[in-house]
Amino acid sequence: MLRVYKAAVQQTLDILFLHEGREFLTSTDAVSRDSADRTIIAWDFQSAAKISNQIFHERYTCPSLTLHSKESMFVAQTNGNYMALFSAQRPYRINKKKRYEGHKVEGFAVGCEFSPDGTLLVTGSSDGKVFFYNYHTARIIRTLSAHKEACVSAIFHPVLPSLLATCDWAGEIKIWQ
């Protein structure tokens, strides 16, 4: 073990290293009725110091974080049934004009991911569907009825970008082209 980072929160849901690895983000379930001041925390990798805990101000936890493949941006999947877009550079500002809505999370740890070329954002949904969003417009461009159970992950193959893997809450994994 090299370092220990202590957030003083209940549960860490996801970890995302930012470009070059000098900083990383964690998402937690530390949301109260009146505050969301530790939902996403930015850390300095070298010193283990918290850089910011005031990134996301809504009362939703974020079970999944994903970094854009080409731009200095990241998306947080929220339990508010939308994905929020943020700058991946300090001070990690949210893009208030762009939200990716239409899928359902409903308490599941639903993941999301950008396509290798950065033009698409894909996510599962609690109703078993997979949603494909245009990254630039935030519009749904396609839905896929993938599973009978909640689809908790959808990821692109790293070498063959026309392949997509999905999995559901019951453990079924499917590969799509």
Does residue 43 sit within a domain?
yes
CATH (domain of 149): 2.130.10.10
SS3 label, residue 21: helix
| pLDDT tens digits for range 48-82 | 889 988 888 888 889 999 999 999 999 999 999 99
Does residue 157 sit within a domain?
yes
93 — pLDDT class (breaks 50, 70, 90): very high
Give just the sign of the alpha carbon dihedral 151, 54, 72, 28: negative
Please give the Cα distance from 116 to 78 (Å, whole number).
22
The pLDDT score that the predictor gives to residue 96 is 93
Does residue 107 sit within a domain?
yes
| pLDDT tens digits for range 11-58 | 889 999 998 899 999 998 765 555 555 689 999 999 888 998 888 888
SS3 label, residue 137: coil
Residue 145 domain boundaries: 11-176
DSSP assignment string, 35-47: --TTSEEEEETTT
Give just the sign of the alpha carbon dihedral 91, 96, 100, 105: positive
Does residue 95 sit within a domain?
yes
Does residue 5 sit within a domain?
no
Does residue 139 sit within a domain?
yes
The pLDDT score that the predictor gives to residue 32 is 58
Does residue 164 sit within a domain?
yes
Does residue 150 sit within a domain?
yes
Count of structural domains, the chain? 1
